[in-house]
Structure formats: C-alpha cells, structure tokens
Structure 1
Amino acid sequence: MGKGNIRVLAASLIGSAIEWFDYFLYGTVASLVFNQLFFVTEDPTIGLLIAYTSFAIAFFLRPIGGVLFSHIGDRLGRKKTLVLTLSLMGISTFGMGALPTYQVIGIWAPIFLTCLRFVQGLALGGEWGGSVLLAVEYAPKNKKGLFGSVPQMGISIGLILGSLVMSVMTLLPEAQFMAWGWRVPFLLSAFLVIFGLWIRKGIDETPAFKKAQEAGEVIKLPIVDTLKYHWKAVLIAMGSKVVETAPFYIFGTFIVSYATGHLHYDNTDALNAVVVGSLVATILIPIIGHLSDKIGRKKIYLFGIAMTILYAFPYFWLLQQGSVLLLFVATIIGLGLIWGSVNAVLGTMISEFFPANIRNTGISLGYQLGAAVAGGTAPLVATALLARFNDSYVPVALYMIFTALVSLVAISFIKDKQYVETDTTVVPNVKG
C-alpha cells in the first residue's frame, strides 16, 4: 500500500472518528445530564424521553445534510465536502460544551441545544458519504471491502472516545461532574477537529471523481437524477441501513440509561462495557472488510441479520443477571461481533449500488434516510416501550428483530451477482 493510499485512509478514518465522537457525545450525555440540566421536568422519565427526542430529531436533518453536501461532493469534489462537514461539526460540538443550562437562561437552553444538535445532524449527513467514497474510490479493485471498512471504523472509534472520556469524567464527584465535568469532552473536541482538518488538507480528489469530470459526466442536479433513475437503489440502501443502525443505538447508547436506570449498574461499568464492545468492533471491522473481498459482502451482511434475530432475547437475558461480567459479554457480542460484521460491509456494499457521478448523493440519501427512520428513534422507541410495558424488555427485543426483518426484505431485491462495473460507473442489477 503506497504512502498516498495510507494518507487517504488516515484522512477518511480520522475525520470519520472525530465526527462520530462529537455526535455520540450527545447521545451519552443525553441519558446522564441533559435530562436534568436542559430538559427539566418533574418526572425523570419524561425528561429522558424529551432528551432522546432531541437526539432523534437530528437524525431527520441527516438526509438533508446528505443531499446538501453530497451535491457539493458530486459537483465540486469529495474533499471540499469533507472540510465543510468537519468544520461544522466542530463548531456545533464546542458550542454545546459552552452553553448555559436551563437553570441559567431558562427555556432558551434546550432551544439552543436542539439547534446545535440540528447542525450536528446536517454535518454528519454530509460527512459519511464523502469519507466512505474517499476510501472506496481510491481502493484497488480487489480491496474495496477492506478500504471501505476503514472509515466505518470511525464509528466505533468515535463511540470509544466519547464513552471513554465520559467514563473518566463520571469518576468525578457527582456535583463536579454535573457542574462542569460533562462539558470537558465537548470543549476538547475543538483540538481534534483542527487535527482532522490538517490531515485532510493534504489529500487529492478521488480517481473516480476525476474520471467523471474528464468524461463530462458531472451532473448539475445529482439529486434529480438519483431520484429519477436510481430510486429503487436508494430504497434498498435505506432498508439495508435499518439492521445496522437501530440495534447499534440499542447496544451503544440506550444500554447506558437502561443498565444504570433500570438494572442498577454503575455508570462507569455501563460506559466501560460500551468502550470494550466498540474496541472489539474496531479490531474486527477491517478483518471482516478484507474477508468480504474474498467471499462477498452480501454473505456477511446476511450473517449479521441472522445473528441480530437470534441474539435479541439472549442479549437482554444476559443484562438481567445483574453481573458486570455478563454486561461486558452481552455488549461485546452485540456491539463488537454482530454490529461490527454488518457495519464493516455496509458502506462498500451500498456504494456499489450507484454510478460515480451521483454516487455521493445516492449513498448519502439512502444511508441517512435509513438512519433517520431507524437510528435516531431507536433509544426513544426502546425507552417508550419500557415505560409502556412496565420495564419488560420483551417488546424491545421484538423491535430489534423487526429491524432485522426489514433489512432482510430490502436485501432480497439485490441478486447474488448484483454489480456490473465499468471504468466510471457501477450499475446495480436490481430485481424488479
């Protein structure tokens, strides 16, 4: 692997990790802090539901961000998109860390916090597609799965960084943590963003985008062509995302409030379990990505669907035992192995659904619509189900199984040998 490819993968991975670190901080802090300092109500459950609602609403901004920034990516290049999205994410996250609480400015506190969360949603909506394509479009033909899995590692690395920093902060006395400790990770993210921008400054445009430019195939309105000619591929990409995103937010975000608030685990133990599970996923993702170049991405993806269905009830049973060891085991299997397998191949798989001249728009729209429908709502749905069914985990487990079945239906519309490659385009062989 040449030095140029290493820098490209580094730029893709580091930027992705920083974006997800910033994004996940909100989800973790929402369950520990925001329901007390920003979304203030007499009922703690209502406060948590409102906090998770603000968490979910930002997901519906992600498709808009995906269309907006992927338009820039398909028109002007992937690199410009990545600089813009990382800058916006840094500004909004730093702003959260500096924001006065409800006790200081009243109703304006949750309003400003929600607005900053919206900016995060827009930024991440544009970041993911650009970072995946930066890796995939530089990849040799027989290493697309490996290269495409590298930016996917940024998701688990971001979760590790966010959970690890918050785990350290929760070691502070409760009063100090609530007063200022929770702000530290948000403020420190500014230094990570500056470093990420420096790394991305030195990369060039992808070969696929250059070929599209030279062939005169750059489209004025990529979203129009995407919806007109590739709407089936968008729907399949959207459905494919569901089994990756909903269980992920159960395993990685909802688990914190569920384990501490309902099962009486310690905050630090719950956060550390997420860190270890994410670390296992980070190690497995490139291995599985490389394996997908040999046996195919669809087989690994179907394995992830089957395991999600089979593991939904055992996962909650392990948590119910009250053992810290089993808490770690449950999270490692769910977040590390099962989610890691699906996540490793998802980016590369759906990037192969679309031609190069609208690829950024196509993958961003499908991926972010799936995230909006299934990802942002997952902690909210799970919390609401627990409240409705007297803390029974059965409805939440059934919800996880349902998300896997949705993706199984979606992927059934792609044949085993689904892609026909040419120099500048990849055309999906979609059933129907």
Structure 2
Amino acid sequence: MPPTQTTDVRRPALIRAFAASLSGTALEWYDFAIYNVAAAVVLGPLFFPSSEPLTATLLAFSTYAVGYLSRPLGGFLFGRLGDQLGRKRVLVTTLLITGIATMLIGLLPTHAAIGGAAGVLLVVLRFAQGVGLGGEWGGAVLLSSEYGNPKQRGFWASAAQIGPPAGNLMANGVLALLGAVLSEDQFLSWGWRVAFLLSAVLVVFGLWIRLKLEETPVFKAIQERGDRPTAPISEVFRTQRRPLVAAVLCRVGPDVLYALFTVFVLTYITTQLGLPRNAGLTAVLIASGFQLFLMPLAGWLSDRVNRRVLYAGAAVCGAVWPFVFFPLIDTGSRLFLVLGIVVGLAFHAFMYGPQAAFISEQFTPRLRYTGSSLAYTLAGVIGGAVAPLVFTALLAAFDTWTLVAVYVAVACAVTLTGLYLGRDPEVEEVDQAPSSTLSVDSR
C-alpha cells in the first residue's frame, strides 16, 4: 500500500506516542524511585526513629510496600477506565496523582516535629503514589504499541519499560549530587526534600507532552465499532483467566531482581560492608544508564526471535547471578560492586524489555488496558512489594546473603512458570491490524 497523507501524519504521531510513553513513565518512576532510594538511606531515621538501624529500615520499607499494595487499586480503577474512556485521558490523571503525592512528601514534617503522625501521612502519600503508578503502566504500554506495527511491538512497547531505569537514573543522580555537595546533616535536614520537590517541574513537562497526543488508532477503531467493554474487570476474570495468570507470574522474577539491585543493595553495603551510601548510589546510576539502551535492544531483539525464549533465558541468568554477586561485593571492592549491579540489571533488562509486549499480547485489544494493568499491579504485590521486606528480614534473622539469593532464584522460577503458561502473538492479530498503522513502519 503506497503511503498516503494519513500515513505520513501517523509517523510523527507514533514518535510522539513513544516519547510520551517514555517520558511519562520516566517521570512517574522518578517519583517512585526517589522514595525507594530515600527509604533505604533517609526516611527510616527521620520518620521511624529507632535505636536499631535495621528496624528503622524495615519500617521505611513497609511504606515502600504500601506503594506496591495500592497499585492494584490503581490497576482496577484506571485499567477499567482506560478500556472504556480511552488511553490518553487516563494517563493524564495518573501523572497528576503520582506527581502531587511526591511533591507533598517533600513538604512533610518529620517525626521530630509532629511525632507518629509523620509516619501516617507518609504512608497515605505513598499509597497515593502507588494508585497513580498502578494505572500508569498498562496505558503507557498501549500508548506506544498501539500506534506501531504489531510485528514490532517488542520495540515500541519498550518505551514504557525504559521509564523505570530512566526514572531511577534521575532519582539516583539527584540524590548522589545532593549527597556530594551537602554535608550529612544538611542532607538529612532538608537536602532530601529537594529531590521530591523537583517532581513539580517534571510533572509540568509530562503533562505538556501528553495533552498534545491523540487517542491511539486501536482504541479509536474499538470505539467506532461500538465494542468498548461495559464491565472489563469481570470480563477479564471470566474469559481471560489463563492469560492473566501467565502475565502475573512472568513479572515476579524481574520485580524481585530489580528490588535487590536498586533498593536492598543500598542497605546491604552500608550495614554489612561499611561502604558509604554514595558508592551504592553511583553503582545503581551507572547500571541504570546501561539499561536505557539494553531495554529497547531487548525489545527489538524479541521481535526477531521468540519473545518467550529470550525472556526465559534472562530469567535463568537472573536466578543464578545473586550467588555470584554477593561473594563479589563481600570483598569490599567498589569495582566489583559496580560490575555486579550492572550485570544484574542487564539480566533484568532482558526480561523487562520484552515484558510489555508479552503481557499485552496475552489479552484481546478491547480488554488490554484492564488485563495488562491487573497483571502489572497484582504481580507487584507478590513480587516487588514484599521483596525488600523479605530481604531485610532474612538478613536480620540469619546474618547471611544465601537465603536472599535463594529467594531471588525462586522468584525467577515463578517467572518461568508464567512464560510456560503464556502464548505467543497470534498471526491473525497482526493480519487484522489497521493498514495505515502497518504502512508507517514498513516504509
């Protein structure tokens, strides 16, 4: 089919959708990641003071878990609305919720000022962060992938996957910079707040991009056919049970691995190895930089080889690596710390890059926002939410990393089970894609 005026317009729209998906999730993950890092190094003593450092960290990680536990609410609410009202309108709302909650965390008085109420308010705002993020991911994936050729879904859907490392890169970069230019007392007194308040600038930028977008071609086609679901949640549970289980399980391993190498490692090196906080932050920063390129590479590669096989191979490597990683960093070498985190997050990237396409392919187009959001948020509860708590509790109880590594291996085995239950994309789905969309990517 020769290019038409419509398809000429579609190419810029596809690039804008990719940019909006990437920038929006990056901004929201900056908000989420800034808390994740702060929970390990700052929020414990400020909001949950205790004479035992590990106890304060455990309490801070409890609010970390709240951000995951609230995600299913966001997934249920915004996933349903995304299939009924459209992708764009919902994504603007989720960005606002997460951004405002993050800014308010930066303004919170600490335990020293208002006592236990400080911890309660922190939990409430963390809950709001999770609700916004729970509704974000499914829509961000569809925003880019539904503009592109289904045969290239792995690459286009990876835009949303680049968001976490990009957000983590910004979060760690800001905290590392503040830690370098401020004294410890200044950082604990007010410096950490700057990182949270910067969210205001990022939210304005994200809104500017998303408000300029049109709705995706796939949702427009569903809307024109009058095929929007009236009860998408119940329909997913009634007709898409196996796809939902497969999509949930496939996420567990990557979530646990990510929690190990971006959150728990900061606690481990400071409490067990006596290394400074900035050593861990710098290592995560470097590894996240590599992920910015590895995520789309993995997504692109998954369009050319079997997506499930690529994903499974990375899961096996992710299960093995912690048994190598901990002996390396126990030497106290900062070089081994950087190398270990870079390799660990590379294995994560080769699971996470193809993940968006794999999960969205499990569901029919009219139920994709709901199904993908439910899978993403439910997996977060059993994966990423409890992982730092389990890691910290295992370390405190047994004073060894061995069981932490075993826990990661079990989580990756769960992911392999999900991949086995899942399906490859159906040829009919590609054949039925709008011709104008396909011609964009074949030009």
The TM-score normalised by the length of structure 2 is 0.93
Extract unaligned runs of 5+ from structure 2. 1-9, 435-443
Deviations 1:227-255 (A, max 9, x none): 11112211111100001101101011111
Deviation at 1:217, TM superposition (A): 0.9
Higher relative contact order (CA 8 A, sep 6+): 2
Which of 225, 229, 232 is the equivalent residue of 2:242? 232
| Contact in 2 for aligned 1:356/1:424 (Cα 8 Å) | no
Name the SS of the counterpart of 1:264 in structure 2. Answer: coil
Q: Does 1:143 align with 2:120?
A: no
Q: Which residue of structure 2 aligns with residue 423 of structure 1?
A: 432
Q: Which residue of structure 2 aligns with residue 268 of structure 1?
A: 278
Which of 251, 264, 276 is the equivalent residue of 1:254? 264
Q: Distance in 1 between matches of 2:106 and 2:325?
A: 34
Which of 299, 303, 309 is the equivalent residue of 2:313? 303
Name the SS of the counterpart of 1:2 in structure 2. Answer: helix
Q: Which residue of structure 2 aligns with residue 346 of structure 1?
A: 355
Q: Distance in 2 between matches of 1:322 and 1:32?
A: 19
Q: Which residue of structure 2 aligns with residue 430 of structure 1?
A: none
Deviation at 1:41, TM superposition (A): 2.0
Q: Which residue of structure 2 aligns with residue 119 of structure 1?
A: 128
Name the SS of the counterpart of 2:317 in structure 1. Answer: helix
Q: 1:382 to 1:140 in 2, by over 3 A?
A: same
| Contact in 1 for aligned 2:319/2:409 (Cα 8 Å) | yes
Segment drifting more, 5-14 vs 257-266? 257-266
Q: Which residue of structure 2 aligns with residue 396 of structure 1?
A: 404
Q: Which residue of structure 2 aligns with residue 202 of structure 1?
A: 212
Which of 245, 249, 272 is the equivalent residue of 2:255? 245
Q: Distance in 1 between matches of 2:428 and 2:269?
A: 47
Deviation at 1:295, TM superposition (A): 0.7
Deviation at 1:345, TM superposition (A): 0.3
Deviation at 1:424, TM superposition (A): 6.9
Look up the equivalent residue of 1:25 and give its one-letter code: I
Q: 1:70 to 1:317 in 2, by over 3 A?
A: same
Tell me how large the CA RMSD over aligned residues is.
1.4
Q: 1:45 to 1:419 in 2, by over 3 A?
A: farther
Q: Which residue of structure 1 aligns with residue 287 of structure 2?
A: 277
Look up the equivalent residue of 1:402 and give its one-letter code: V
Which of 226, 239, 258 is the equivalent residue of 1:216? 226
Q: Which residue of structure 1 aligns with residue 184 of structure 2?
A: 174
Look up the equivalent residue of 1:388 and give its one-letter code: A
Q: 1:236 to 1:418 in 2, by over 3 A?
A: farther
Segment drifting more, 90-99 vs 136-145? 136-145
| Contact in 1 for aligned 2:253/2:411 (Cα 8 Å) | yes
Look up the equivalent residue of 1:413 and give its one-letter code: L
Q: Does 1:406 align with 2:414?
A: yes
| Contact in 1 for aligned 2:361/2:425 (Cα 8 Å) | no
Deviation at 1:142, TM superposition (A): 2.5
Q: Which residue of structure 1 aligns with residue 198 of structure 2?
A: 188
Q: Which residue of structure 1 aligns with residue 35 of structure 2?
A: 26
Q: 1:417 to 1:222 in 2, by over 3 A?
A: closer
Deviations 1:10-50 (A, max 9, x none): 11100000000000111110111111110122222111111
Look up the equivalent residue of 2:374 and give its one-letter code: L
Which of 302, 327, 343 is the equivalent residue of 1:292? 302
Deviation at 1:416, TM superposition (A): 5.6
| Contact in 1 for aligned 2:95/2:203 (Cα 8 Å) | yes
Q: Which residue of structure 1 aligns with residue 439 of structure 2?
A: none
Deviations 1:190-244 (A, max 9, x none): 0000000000011111111111111111011110101111122111111000011
Q: Which residue of structure 1 aligns with residue 390 of structure 2?
A: 381
| Contact in 2 for aligned 1:31/1:256 (Cα 8 Å) | yes
Q: Distance in 2 between matches of 1:249 and 1:418?
A: 33
Report % sequence identity.
Answer: 38
Which of 74, 80, 101 is the equivalent residue of 1:71? 80
Deviation at 1:291, TM superposition (A): 1.0
| Contact in 1 for aligned 2:362/2:422 (Cα 8 Å) | no
Deviation at 1:312, TM superposition (A): 2.1
Q: Distance in 2 between matches of 1:290 and 1:240?
A: 19
Q: Which residue of structure 2 aligns with residue 428 of structure 1?
A: none
Q: Distance in 1 between matches of 2:305 and 2:371?
A: 25
Q: 1:202 to 1:103 in 2, by over 3 A?
A: same
| Contact in 1 for aligned 2:150/2:433 (Cα 8 Å) | no
| Contact in 1 for aligned 2:243/2:422 (Cα 8 Å) | no
Look up the equivalent residue of 1:148 and give its one-letter code: A
Q: How many pairs are equivalent?
A: 423
Q: Distance in 1 between matches of 2:427 and 2:330?
A: 44
Name the SS of the counterpart of 1:179 in structure 2. Answer: helix
Aligned positions of 1:42-81 closer than 5 A:
42-81=51-90
Which of 96, 100, 111 is the equivalent residue of 2:105? 96
Name the SS of the counterpart of 1:182 in structure 2. Answer: helix
Q: Distance in 2 between matches of 1:221 and 1:413?
A: 25
Which of 326, 346, 355 is the equivalent residue of 2:364? 355
Name the SS of the counterpart of 2:42 in structure 1. Answer: helix
Q: Distance in 1 between matches of 2:426 and 2:149?
A: 19
Look up the equivalent residue of 2:337 and give its one-letter code: L
